Structure 1
Amino acid sequence: MRKIKKTYKTIEVVDLFCGIGGLSYGMKCKGLDIRGGFDIDGTCEYAYKFNNQANFFHKNIFDVTMEDVVKLYSNDCIRVLAGCAPCQPFSSYAFKNKTKDQSKYDLLYEFGRLIKTVRPDIVTMENVPAILTFKLKNVLQDFVKLLEDLHYYVSVKIVYCPDYGIPQTRKRLVLLASKFGEINLIPATCTPDHYVTVRDTIGKLPPIKAGETSATDALHRAAGLTPINLQRIKSTPMGGSWKDWPESLRLKCHKAETGKTYGSVYGRMSWDLPSPTMTTQCTGFGSGRFGHPEQDRAISAREAALLQTFPMNYRFFEKEKDVSLGKVSRYIGNAVPPKLGEVVADSIIKHLNDLK
C-alpha cells in the first residue's frame, strides 16, 4: 500500500467519452471537482457545460494527448481519470454483426494509452457486463493487465442498478483502480424490498396522451401511435406484452417461432417494479417494455430521463421544445445514470478516507 498525498486539496475528474455528462454530474453532486470532458459528439457540449460548469472538448479519443488531459488538473489534487467507452461495440448485436467498424474495439486501448502517459491517481471505467465474455478481443483483460503492470490496485464489479437506488434493471460493469491501495465499490444501498420503482419515479407527472407534450414541460413529450398500435397498447396489461394481444393484433414476426424470444417488445412497465434498462429507443412503444404502466402511450422523454436518474432541472438542450424526440432519447439512453456516478464518487471518497 502506498502513501496518499497528505496535502491534497481537491479530488479532480477528467471525463473521457463524457457524452452529455451523466457520470460527471453524479460525481459533481458528491463534491468532486469536474475539470473537463472529452467526446467525439460535439452536440453534447451544451448539456455537458451547462450542467457541470466544466470545459467540454470536442475531440476524438484517438487525438486526445497526455498534454490535453494533464493541463486540466491543478497542483496538489487527487487526479481521477474516468472513461466510459461507448458500449455498442461490446453488445450482443455488435458481436453478431461482423461488418461493424472494428476501430471501435480500440476505444479501451486508447483509454489505456492515456492512463499510461497521464498516470492518474485513480481510474474508473463503466461498461456493459458483456465485455467480460467478449470473444473478439480480450479488451477487458488487456485493460486490467495494463493497470496492474502500472502498479494500480484494481477491482471489477457487475452492478445491478436497483441495488443502488437506480429505478431500472440495468446491469453495468464498474472498474475502479487506485495507486494508493485496495479500492472497491461501496456496498449496495437498497434491498429488493426497498428498490426505487417506476411509481416512485414518474408516478406524479401529469398525464398526457400519445403524441402530446405537456404544457409546462417540453420534455414531457410522448411519441404518437398509429391506430393499430393504439389498439395494441390498449390490449396490453400492466407488465404485459404482445403475448397478451388477440391474434388479430399480432405481427407476423411474433407468430413465427423466432418471435417467441422477443417477449418484452411492445410491453408495458409495472408501477411497483424498477423499469427496464433505458436505451436509445426508450420512447418507442415497439422498442422494448417502454409502454407507460397505465396511460396508452410509450413513456415520455422526461420519464425516461427521470428513470435514468437525471433530475428535473437537468438541461439537455438550449431549446428543448425544438429538438426531436429521437435525439433526446439517444442522449438519455447513451448516458451513464448520474446516480451511478454518485456511487462511484462515494466509493472514491471512502477509499481515500480509509487511507488517512
Structure 2
Amino acid sequence: MGKKKIVAIDLFSGCGGTSSGLIKAGIDVRAAVEINKVATKTYTKNISAHVIEEDIVNVSGSELLDKIKLKRNEELLLVACPPCQGFSSIGNGTEDDERNQLVYQFVRLVNELRPAYVLMENVSGMSKGKGKKIFKDVLKKFDLLNYEINSDILNSADFGVPQMRKRLVLHGVRRDIYEKMVAKDMNLELPKPTNINPSSKENPEELPVWETAGSVFNLPRLSAGEKHQSETVFNHYANGLSDINKERIRHIRRNGGSRDCLPDRLVLNCHRGKQGHGDVYGIIDVNRPAPTMTGGCMSYTKGRFGHPVEDRAISAREAARIQSFEDEFIFEGTNGEIALQIGNAVPVKLAKASGEYFQWLNRKLNEK
C-alpha cells in the first residue's frame, strides 16, 4: 500500500479554528464552507484554502470534489462543526431549533463524498442534553452509511488550551478502512490528553498540568474602549465600560471575583433574588483555566470575562489566546463580530490533537 496524505474539507468553518489546528497537524486543508461573510473574510486572510461562501444546503459533494482535486494517493478527511446554539446549555434553544438540523447536512455530504475519515466537534449538549435524540439519530445514520464512530466529551484544558471548554468530539472511519484497522489490531480512538488537571492524584505519563488563564495576560495595558494595534500585536481591542460597571469590577476584584459580593447599591435589579448565570460580572482567575469563551466573550456583562487587573473585559486578542489562536491570526470585523467568531471557534489545539491522531492512524494504515 503506497503512502497516502490526508486532505481535508472544513464544513461550517467559521473563522478557521479547526482548519488552523489541522494545518498545525500537517494536514492539507483545501476547501471550506461558511455562510457568514465576516467569518469568511477572517478565514481567507489567514488560511489559503478555497472557501465556498454559501448556505451548506446549496453545496454538493461534487462541487467540493471539484475544488479539492483529490488525487489517487490522497485520503479525504471531512470535518464539521455545525452551529450548536440550539444544543447549548447556555442558550434558550430547543431540540426543534432549526439550526440543529444542519448536522444532517454533514451526514448528507459524508454520503456524497464517502471520505476515509470524519471529524465533528460540538457542544456537550448535543450528545447528552437537548440534542441527545438528534445525536442518536445521526449515529444511526453513520452506521447505515458504513462508518465506524467513536465519540466522547473532552475538556479542551486537557489539550493545552487555557480554558475549561467541554466539547463533544467525534472521530469516524469508513468501514472498509476500519476492517484494515482490525486486521492490524488497532482501535478507533480519540486524541490522548497532553495536559492534566493539577488536582489529579495520579499522572503516570508525567503530563504537564493545565495551562492557566494567567498565561495570556502579558499584552500592553489597555483602557476600556481602547484599541491597540501594532506591527506585532493585532486585535488587542477592548469594549467600553460604563462608570458604574468600572466601580463594580473594582469591587468584585477586591472581594473574591464574583458578583455576590456587591453592596446593595451596586446590585442590578435583574440580579436581585436570582441566581441566574453566576459567572456574569465575574473576574477571570489567573490561577485556573479561563471559563468557556462565548460569542459575548468581550462583554463584561455576559460572563466571567472581567480582566484580572485592568478595569475592562478581556480584549479580542486575549480571548483569541484563550482559544489557543496564534497571535499572528488576524480577525476581521467589529468588536461584536470578532467576539462571535472567537466564541464560536473550535480551540486550535483541540483541533490539532484530532488532526495528529488522524495523521498517526493514516501512517499506521499505510505501513507495509
TM-score under structure 2 normalisation? 0.88
Aligned residue in 2 for 1:335 = 345
CA displacement 1:82-141 (0-9 Å, x = unmatched): 0110111212355x556x984322111111111112100000010001011345772211
Aligned residue in 2 for 1:204 = 218
Question: C-alpha distance in 2, partners of 1:281/1:311?
Answer: 20
Q: Aligned ranges for residues 184-333 of structure 1 at < 5 Å?
A: 184-193=189-198, 194-200=209-215, 202-214=216-228, 216=230, 217-237=233-253, 240-256=257-273, 259-317=274-332, 323-333=333-343
Q: Aligned ranges for residues 83-94 of structure 1 at < 5 Å?
A: 83-92=80-89
Secondary structure of the corresponding residue to residue 52 of structure 2: strand
Contact residue 294 and residue 343 of structure 2 kept, 8 A: yes
Contact residue 278 and residue 333 of structure 1 kept, 8 A: yes
Secondary structure of the corresponding residue to residue 131 of structure 1: helix
Contact residue 236 and residue 318 of structure 2 kept, 8 A: yes
Amino acid at match of 1:272: N
Secondary structure of the corresponding residue to residue 321 of structure 2: helix
Amino acid at match of 2:47: N
Q: Post-superposition shift, 1:8? A: 4.2
Secondary structure of the corresponding residue to residue 86 of structure 1: coil
Amino acid at match of 1:250: V
Amino acid at match of 1:191: I
Contact residue 90 and residue 130 of structure 1 kept, 8 A: yes
Contact residue 320 and residue 342 of structure 2 kept, 8 A: yes
Question: C-alpha distance in 1, partners of 2:20/2:234?
Answer: 22
Match of 1:122 among 117, 136, 139: 117
Are positions 1:351 and 2:355 aligned together?
A: no
Q: Post-superposition shift, 1:154? A: 0.8
Amino acid at match of 1:254: H
Amino acid at match of 1:294: V
Q: Post-superposition shift, 1:174? A: 0.4
Secondary structure of the corresponding residue to residue 280 of structure 1: coil
Secondary structure of the corresponding residue to residue 158 of structure 1: strand
Secondary structure of the corresponding residue to residue 235 of structure 1: helix
Question: C-alpha distance in 1, partners of 2:142/2:111?
Answer: 8
Q: Post-superposition shift, 1:46? A: 2.5
Question: C-alpha distance in 2, partners of 1:42/1:101?
Answer: 26
Q: Post-superposition shift, 1:272? A: 1.2
Structure 1 residues 262 and 50: alpha-carbon distance in aligned structure 2, compared to 1, 3 A threshold = closer
Contact residue 235 and residue 331 of structure 2 kept, 8 A: no
- Stretch of structure 1 that moved more, 76-85 or 49-58: 49-58
Contact residue 281 and residue 287 of structure 1 kept, 8 A: yes
Secondary structure of the corresponding residue to residue 233 of structure 1: helix
- Stretch of structure 1 that moved more, 176-185 or 33-42: 176-185
Contact residue 253 and residue 283 of structure 2 kept, 8 A: yes
Contact residue 211 and residue 224 of structure 1 kept, 8 A: yes
Question: C-alpha distance in 1, partners of 2:131/2:158?
Answer: 31
Question: C-alpha distance in 1, partners of 2:39/2:93?
Answer: 27
Aligned residue in 2 for 1:162 = 157
Q: Post-superposition shift, 1:30? A: 1.3
Question: C-alpha distance in 1, partners of 2:131/2:24?
Answer: 37
CA displacement 1:15-46 (0-9 Å, x = unmatched): 11011111011101111001110011122222
Question: C-alpha distance in 2, partners of 1:254/1:242?
Answer: 9
Amino acid at match of 1:228: I
Secondary structure of the corresponding residue to residue 247 of structure 2: helix
Structure 1 residues 218 and 35: alpha-carbon distance in aligned structure 2, compared to 1, 3 A threshold = closer
Amino acid at match of 1:143: V
Match of 1:74 among 51, 70, 73: 70
Question: C-alpha distance in 2, partners of 1:184/1:40?
Answer: 31
Secondary structure of the corresponding residue to residue 272 of structure 1: coil
Amino acid at match of 1:304: A
Question: C-alpha distance in 2, partners of 1:60/1:278?
Answer: 25
Question: C-alpha distance in 1, partners of 2:292/2:90?
Answer: 16
Question: C-alpha distance in 2, partners of 1:147/1:169?
Answer: 29
Q: Give aligned-pair identity as a percent.
A: 35
Aligned residue in 2 for 1:141 = 136
Contact residue 34 and residue 52 of structure 2 kept, 8 A: yes
Question: C-alpha distance in 2, partners of 1:214/1:233?
Answer: 22
Contact residue 184 and residue 351 of structure 1 kept, 8 A: no
Aligned residue in 1 for 2:51 = 56
CA displacement 1:247-271 (0-9 Å, x = unmatched): 1100112222xx2232211000111
Amino acid at match of 1:234: R
Q: Post-superposition shift, 1:246? A: 1.2
Secondary structure of the corresponding residue to residue 220 of structure 2: coil
Question: C-alpha distance in 1, partners of 2:345/2:77?
Answer: 19
Structure 1 residues 121 and 138: alpha-carbon distance in aligned structure 2, compared to 1, 3 A threshold = same
Unaligned runs of 5+ in 2: 179-186, 199-208
